[in-house]
Structure 1
């Protein structure tokens, strides 16, 4: 009997030694099969679950490049790369969930929208037949995010300057912090700002901002959870804003009147999604807005200020969003992947002004907007935006505003792009502080800032852009441009009479476009030399213009 027990013990021990050794070959036979791209994934595996998620985090500069120099190494050494935790918090999928390639693509777009990332892609990197799972790899490339805000710009006869510091990826967390001193044609002062785009992976976001300027102060507190993905079911928003500032009224680029503005706004809303399918969704929102604006004279006032107004209201809105994204290059920017939505985007909002909330009088306020991009052929596209708003108050004149923006993009070759743009705005009885302006930053690049103002405006422009192979130390991508502008703003009874009031404006010029290729602030820097076509002797000669702004 003892011999039988001893034999069992010895057999058990022998098997215990053999099983770990035999498990190796068994597991090796079940090794996951690597993939180069998600397109190689077998059709059957597209319905499996996600087993593992891998992260490949790349630094700012590729030091293996022959153009790499000492400050590229310095930047990589002293930059805090985006943490795996920050990237994981933005993922719209997790381990154990069924694989959905459209969700992977949607997450790619979300990551690429983060300004601290230069690029991101997500691929199925392996599939494991035995466990019927796949492995997903998230690859990201960082931007330089610690930015000294030191700039000097000149546009339309006015000088702008900024001095400060901004960090768009605080300690690799994706949060933004900024302190800045600024001066321009309107005011000077300093601004503090903090923004968190995704609080602890909850997809709640917050913005806190405070500014103290030469003509007043402003602050903003925003806490929101937007419809951050197509399948989001709920959205919330709380916005508190106050701003005190001086507003200047211009004629031909010169100030003819000033007054003080004090705006206070509080908005609270909630939204639901419904009628959702694989590529579209509809949203229903309900909210309340307290919007009070007061105006008063200041030391430079030459005319009476606008009337005070309170447009406090409750409102309902409906939105339709269709997801049809394409990955394009040389569309708004160049030399980088751009996510362009060719689906319909429609919104309607109806507000009821209530005296019980503080409104001056009862009435209705409704707004509508439509945005759609069209692919004409493989080398040309049309970008369109239309909006209409109407404000009807019981004892005051009805206000209306129609605005349209059309942009035609055509690739003449891999390096040549033709861009035509038309902006048309028609208003009726607009508030004085909301009239359209043209000149300088607002189109008509050969004319001073705010050269013409009015309830109606139209601008047409044509730009030829040649994308060079020049890269300034891997910091700036360079393009050359030539442009022609034509336009006019009119219907402003308060503006003093003078030359060019009833004339169409035109100008032309050449310029350089600089795109920071490794910076979290993806604004295009435009340096232009422009000449107006005008009989006004004050506008003779060429004007230079420098401005950094996000495109269209």
Structure 2
């Protein structure tokens, strides 16, 4: 408990350092929209000198996003008053859609010098190829995982997302199907249902969400259900050291409303209720299982977002306009446990915090994040987790980028199914999953990235990287680690980004050499993974 208090004090100190920007009045001129012109571009520009038959074939088979779908994604309609800031926000929202490669939203050029009170808004979009076979293969150490299937992020150009795939892991295989579709009877609403049947259990989840779609959205709500049955494996030192069955039943509902919004920042308030039940059972006589958890808690939440968006390239993916908010974002949620209480006269507590901030200076970009959660005063021992991460990008020139990342994790009394670990799955490349265990971990990574501007037939962009990782798990829970020292790996590889597909994933092909005294760790290793960023 003393350690927890120390970290709470540290967290309070960090929050005291937050400096919220002052609010200025918005004096930007607004215009009435007299017309909205939507221009849909297909995937490939057939007038390009690099156009060839595959591009023509793809365009002919692809169904371009319907104009009605684009119109429904807009945050304004004909007759509304809008500013350039509103157009920029609409552009960011369109760019966030997986099936759109890019979008531009702007006022149509004036044909005369007379200053108008109304203007035409032009919305241009460029589609991605959305119907894709999927084949993911991940190999780390002696473990291989793969999945094959088919997905469509824009079924018939209607913005409907569908998935069907087969997964195979060492001790687990099964099928997954899901569909997510916009629903017109709820403004910007989304309905999702998914089902997964595996050799170790099944998953059923569904949700109905009306999000805070834009800065102007007044209210939001969501209803979510997740029913999951699986077998959890705990790995350490490259081996499976524990295994148990895990059944989860999760329900959550929430309602939120906008408290304040201006050109610089906004704040929102949420009320919700969550019920989560986790049950565990042994799969063998050697299984060590966590204590069952049965939580029911109403909660209140607050969110603050400072509006400071900037456009970047080659940060998360290659050669794509990326909108990144450099302003402060704070999200706080406080739940009051009513079912599983340590003291019948007092509630337990569930605390979640999330903070991000960015900073740009000349050719340098810093991105910071803080995530924390704690469960206190229940029948379980108090437990918490706090993750701090800092990323640094130095754009040496258009073709060379230096990247580094520092990550710290502090935990205490985590349940067995939530243990903190360090390995390939947490960013230490070349080591087995969950290789080192410990209450606390630190990880430093450095990369030099070469962007040669090579585009293979307008289908994929390529980057070259050289990297080094160093990290360690420490604190309680490290006694069973075969190597309790600092772990290091170096390597080089290739990054492949599918620039005209809705997959938005990056293929990582690496040769990695872990520098380690453990003889069970292989030397130079070929590694292929699929991730969501460089």
What is the match of residue 514 of structure 2?
532
For 2:342 and 2:39, the matched residues in 1 are separated by 54
User: Does the 8 Å contact 1:251/1:496 carry over to 2?
Assistant: no
Give the ranges of 4+ consecutive aligned residues of structure 1 lying more than 6 Å apart after TM superposition: 356-361
**Change in CA separation of 1:380 and 1:498 when aligned onto 2, cut-off 3 Å:** closer
**Change in CA separation of 1:201 and 1:132 when aligned onto 2, cut-off 3 Å:** farther
User: Does the 8 Å contact 1:284/1:317 carry over to 2?
Assistant: yes
What is the match of residue 523 of structure 1?
505
For 1:549 and 1:100, the matched residues in 2 are separated by 37
> Could you tell me the TM-score, scaled by structure 1's length?
0.87
Structure 1 position 262 matched with structure 2 position 247: yes
Return the offset for 1:104.
0.7
> Could you tell me the TM-score, scaled by structure 2's length?
0.90
Deviations 1:207-261 (A, max 9, x none): 1110001100001111111111111111101010110000011111210110000
- 2:420 is aligned, of 436, 441, 449, to 436
For 2:364 and 2:321, the matched residues in 1 are separated by 17
What is the match of residue 223 of structure 1?
208
What is the match of residue 3 of structure 2?
none
Q: Identify unmatched segments of 5+ residues in structure 2.
A: 1-26
What is the match of residue 402 of structure 2?
418
User: Does the 8 Å contact 1:505/1:533 carry over to 2?
Assistant: yes
For 2:49 and 2:189, the matched residues in 1 are separated by 42
**Secondary structure of the equivalent of 2:177?**
strand
Structure 1 position 82 matched with structure 2 position 65: yes
For 1:126 and 1:194, the matched residues in 2 are separated by 40
User: Does the 8 Å contact 2:176/2:197 carry over to 1?
Assistant: yes
Moved more, 336-345 or 444-453: 444-453
Structure 1 position 68 matched with structure 2 position 38: no
What is the match of residue 9 of structure 2?
none
What is the match of residue 94 of structure 1?
77
Deviations 1:92-130 (A, max 9, x none): 111111232111110000000000000000111134759
CA-based RMSD of the aligned residues comes to 2.2
- 2:100 is aligned, of 109, 112, 117, to 117
**Secondary structure of the equivalent of 1:513?**
strand
**Change in CA separation of 1:511 and 1:363 when aligned onto 2, cut-off 3 Å:** same
User: Does the 8 Å contact 1:286/1:317 carry over to 2?
Assistant: yes
**Secondary structure of the equivalent of 1:65?**
coil
Return the offset for 1:288.
0.6
User: Does the 8 Å contact 1:155/1:441 carry over to 2?
Assistant: no
For 1:148 and 1:201, the matched residues in 2 are separated by 31
Q: Which has the higher helix share?
A: 1
Q: Identify unmatched segments of 5+ residues in structure 1.
A: 1-43
Deviations 1:336-372 (A, max 9, x none): 1100101110011111100299999941122222111
For 2:205 and 2:415, the matched residues in 1 are separated by 23
**Secondary structure of the equivalent of 2:91?**
helix
What is the match of residue 452 of structure 2?
468
Task: State the structure with more CA Rg.
Answer: 1
What is the match of residue 173 of structure 2?
188
**Secondary structure of the equivalent of 1:288?**
strand
Alignment of 1:1-150 (within 5 A): 46-127=29-110, 129=114, 132-150=117-135
Return the offset for 1:180.
0.7
What is the match of residue 400 of structure 1?
384
Deviations 1:295-323 (A, max 9, x none): 00114x52321111112111111111111
Return the offset for 1:395.
4.6
- 1:427 is aligned, of 411, 431, 443, to 411
Return the offset for 1:45.
11
User: Does the 8 Å contact 2:341/2:377 carry over to 1?
Assistant: no
Moved more, 305-314 or 75-84: 305-314
What is the match of residue 463 of structure 2?
479
